[in-house]
Every structure is written in C-alpha cells, then in structure tokens.
C-alpha cells in the first residue's frame, strides 16, 4: 500500500479543532509557565528571548509541520511510523531508531516533569489554605525550601500526578482530553491576564518588560543560545514523537500549516504572558531573576498574598497549572504506550501501567536531586539538571534535526506537498526552512557550544 492513505489503529480526533486543542494542551505546560521564566532569568533576559522567538519561527514551526505530516502519513506510533515510511521509500531501517529515541526522551522528561507538577499540586493546597496572605518574600522562599527538601512529600505528589496521568492515558487520549483543554486554555489565559494586571501595579512593570524585551547581546553566551533553541523544541513538544503521534490521529482534511501556526502562537503567547507577570514581581521585591527552578514558586505567591481574593485566584492558578502539566504529561508517554499496544498486543491499561511504573521509579532521581543528592554533581550539575539538559538541549534538537531531514531528504516532494496541502511559495518556504535552515541552525548551535566552531 505504498503511498496510500491509511487510518490509525488507535482512532482519530473528532475534528481538526480537537487536534488543535490536544496539541496545544501538549505544548502549553510547565515549559511555558515554570521553565521559560526561570531560564530567561538565568540567561540574562531580552537577547535570550529574542533567540527563542527566532527559533520558534524558523525552526519550531517548520519542524512541527514535518512531525505532524510524518505522523499522519504513517498513522502509527512513532517507532512504527518511521519503520513503515522508511521501508515504503526503500530507505534504511535505522530510521526507526528515531522513534526509539523519542520514546526514551518521553520517559526521561516525564520522570522529572511529574515531580515539578507535584510542586504545583502542593501549591494548590498552600494557596487554598491562605498560606501566602501577607507573607514576605523571605517567608515565601522558606515555604518553597521546606517543600523541596522533604523527599517524602515530593514522592507523594509525584505518585499522585503519575497516577492521574496514567489514568487518562489508559483511557485513550482522545476522550476527555478535548473537553479539559477547551475550558483550560481560556481560563489559564484569563488568569495570566489578571496576573499581568497585578504586575502593572507593582511599580516595576517597566523594569520587568525591559528585562524581557530589551536585548543585551553581551549576555548571550553560546550556552544561552543552545538553551533558547532547546526550549523552542521543549515548549512546542517537538523532537520526540509526541506531536507525531498526535498527528497520526489527525483527520485527512485538516490543514497542517494552519494548525501548526495556531499552536505555536498560542504557546508563545502564554510563555510571554508568564514572563510579563513574573519579572515585575521579581524586581519589585528585590528577588533574583536567576533564582532557578523555584522562580515562579517564589514570586507568584507574593502576588497572591497581596491581591484581594488572592487565596481564590492563587488556588485557581495552581489548579490550572496542574491541568496544563497534565495535558502535556499525557503526550509525553503516548508514543511509548501506542508502541506497546501495537507491538506487544497489550491493552492500553496494561501498557499505561508499565510505562507509569518505569517513569515513577525514574522520578526518584529528580526528587533526591533537591535534597538527599543535592550535593552529588557531575559537571557541576545535579541529576535533575543533567536530565533536563540532556533531554531539552540535546535529545530533542537532535530528534528534531532528524525529523526535518527525514521529511525533506527521504520523503518525496509529492508526499510532503500532498500532506501539507501547500503549493508554490508557501511550500518552498517550508521546504527551504526544513531542508536547510533548521538542520543547519541546529548543527551550528551544537558546534558553537562545544567550541568546535566559535561564533560571537
């Protein structure tokens, strides 16, 4: 059935919108609200943000289109999609390893993602219990340290989050997910608008905005460029098959180009709003922009502690953050679960249980990174730091690079043109970005950071 259209064993999204919602649910998560502000703070602000935005536009969107089209063409889990498409085109079977690397990345990322989502869950109860009201920056900081230095509490939240994730995954990502995201996204957006409104009242709004949007290129190290690019992959869920597997459930008539642009815009908007809410608070309270992974947990509670109705809005915010993390977590493990169902004849429930247990155990490493193993470092990084660096800044960009190469050097132009539904200049633009610009940019940034090629 070479080149023919097929359907997915796991079903299909009910409509194009269902896909947009699910893929946006995957993209918008801890990456936007927790990670983007703290890495922006650590890497000096404006110039970093600019590189990140350029990466989203020139690397992220074209690779997202490539990933979705490969998924829809293959209609299987990423491992099998790559295997089948390579075989149909008489290409090397080694392409299937791209799927394997994605599955590995999914486990690695989810193992720490779940721990951080656990922090957000703990904060739901702190907010609801009024613990932030009137608290000083120092008291809020102490609350955060108290949480992360207690492995048992972190383990409890990690366990609860993993169980929640695997329950949804075991039911199939289509049912339930669509509805959750439909309400979640607008609600999250509204509460971010409110937080930006609060940030305007802190007296440091201009300082915060200047930090985010005024590029100071002297602060832009090669490592910062790598982190900005890695984050573009991470935040759009690219390079590991999550968007590919969602693409495999995409109806035939949906426009891949339009949906990719919508998803990328929504994702970027959420990240920028989070930055605009957080940095004014950082400056107003004399906090450190480079405070690291605790940044949002040390800043936003101050805002909730001072605004009228703060306990209510704080609770709502952390509930929404947990939801956003949930809809992303589901997509992280879907490639592995789809493969277990296809190749091992497992039910979704059993496949989810296995995947969940493996991830849960791996999560212990991240939990201990913040307490028992805090001093155990390799290259100056804790286990969590290493995991985050290896996945976001190495594996995802590499995965994305090969996805781009596969879509434009091995698949025929006829196939990609047909899937994308693009012609003329639009198609050419995608083709050039995906075939040359994105791969060369990734290689260049890798070489630059390893010192093999020094630029700037």
3-class DSSP state of 381: strand
Interatomic CA distance for residues 25 and 20, integer angstroms: 8
Nearer to ligand PFF, 184 or 332 (CB): 332
Nearer to ligand PFF, 242 or 300 (CB): 242
Kindly give the interhelix angle for 310-344 and 177-200, rounded to the nearest 10 degrees.
150
Whole-number minimum distance, CB 330 to ligand PFF, in Å?
Answer: 9
Nearer to ligand PFF, 326 or 431 (CB): 326
Alpha helices by DSSP H, 288-347: 295-306, 310-344
In angstroms, what CA-CA distances link 265 with 23, 100, 321?
A: 12, 29, 19
Whole-number minimum distance, CB 109 to ligand PFF, in Å?
Answer: 6
Whole-number minimum distance, CB 235 to ligand PFF, in Å?
Answer: 4
Cβ pair 20, 261 in contact under 8 A: no
Interatomic CA distance for residues 51 and 243, integer angstroms: 23
Nearer to ligand PFF, 222 or 247 (CB): 247
Quick one: which H or E segment has residue 291? none
Nearer to ligand PFF, 323 or 406 (CB): 323
Q: What CA dihedral angle connects 291, 296, 299 and 301, to 10 degrees?
A: -140
Nearer to ligand PFF, 391 or 416 (CB): 391
Phi first, then psi, for residue 378 (nearest 5°) are: -125, 130
Nearer to ligand PFF, 140 or 263 (CB): 263
3-class DSSP state of 378: strand
SS3 content of the chain, % helix, strand, coil (to 5): 75, 0, 25
Whole-number minimum distance, CB 396 to ligand PFF, in Å?
Answer: 7
Whole-number minimum distance, CB 233 to ligand PFF, in Å?
Answer: 8
R_g over Cα of the chain: 21
Q: Provide the b/e sequence for 285-299 (b: ≥16 CB within 10 Å).
A: bebebebebbbbbbb
Nearer to ligand PFF, 132 or 326 (CB): 326
Whole-number minimum distance, CB 90 to ligand PFF, in Å?
Answer: 29
Q: Which residues bind ligand PFF (CB under 6 A)?
A: 26-27, 29-32, 109, 234-235, 237, 240, 242, 328, 331-332
Residue nearest to ligand PFF (CB): 31
Whole-number minimum distance, CB 266 to ligand PFF, in Å?
Answer: 12
Whole-number minimum distance, CB 200 to ligand PFF, in Å?
Answer: 26
């Amino acid at each position: 059935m070479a080149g023919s259209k097929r359907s997915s064993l796991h079903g299909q999204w009910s409509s194009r919108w269902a896909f947009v919602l699910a893929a946006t649910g995957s993209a918008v998560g801890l990456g936007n609200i927790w990670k983007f502000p703290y890495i922006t703070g650590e890497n000096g602000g404006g110039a970093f943000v600019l590189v990140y935005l350029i990466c989203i536009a020139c690397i992220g969107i074209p690779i997202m289109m490539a990933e979705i089209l490969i998924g829809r063409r293959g209609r299987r889990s990423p491992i099998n999609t790559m295997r089948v498409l390579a075989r149909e085109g008489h290409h090397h079977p080694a392409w299937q390893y791209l799927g394997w690397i994605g599955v590995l990345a999914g486990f690695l990322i989810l193992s720490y993602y779940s721990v951080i989502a656990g922090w957000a869950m703990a904060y739901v109860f702190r907010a609801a219990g009024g613990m932030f009201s009137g608290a000083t920056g120092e008291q809020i900081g102490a609350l955060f340290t108290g949480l992360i230095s207690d492995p048992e509490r972190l383990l409890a939240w990690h366990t609860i989050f993993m169980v929640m994730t695997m329950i949804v995954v075991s039911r199939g990502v289509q049912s339930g997910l669509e509805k959750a995201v439909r309400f979640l996204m607008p609600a999250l957006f509204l509460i971010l608008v409110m937080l930006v409104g609060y940030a305007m009242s802190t007296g440091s709004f201009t300082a915060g905005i200047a930090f985010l949007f005024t590029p100071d290129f002297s602060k832009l190290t090669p490592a910062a460029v790598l982190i900005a690019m890695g984050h573009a992959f991470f935040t759009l869920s690219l390079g590991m098959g999550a968007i590919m597997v969602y693409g495999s459930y995409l109806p035939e008539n949906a426009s891949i180009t339009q949906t990719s642009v919508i998803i990328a815009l929504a994702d970027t908007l959420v990240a920028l709003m989070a930055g605009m809410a957080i940095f004014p608070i950082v400056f107003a309270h004399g906090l450190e922009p480079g405070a690291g992974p605790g940044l949002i947990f040390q800043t936003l509670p101050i805002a909730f502690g001072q605004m009228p109705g703060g306990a209510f809005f704080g609770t709502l915010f952390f509930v929404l953050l947990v939801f956003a993390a949930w809809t992303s977590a589901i997509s992280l493990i879907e490639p592995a679960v789809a493969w277990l169902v296809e190749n091992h004849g497992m039910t979704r429930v059993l496949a989810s249980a296995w995947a969940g247990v493996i991830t849960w155990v791996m999560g212990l490493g991240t939990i201990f990174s913040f307490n028992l193993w805090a001093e155990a470092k390799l290259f100056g990084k804790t286990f969590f730091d290493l995991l985050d660096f290896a996945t976001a800044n190495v594996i995802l960009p590499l995965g994305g690079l090969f996805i781009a190469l596969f879509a434009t050097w091995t698949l025929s132009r006829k196939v990609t043109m047909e899937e994308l539904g693009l012609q003329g200049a639009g198609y050419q633009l995608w083709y050039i970005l995906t075939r040359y610009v994105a791969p060369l940019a990734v290689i260049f940034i890798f070489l630059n950071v390893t010192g093999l090629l020094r630029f700037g």
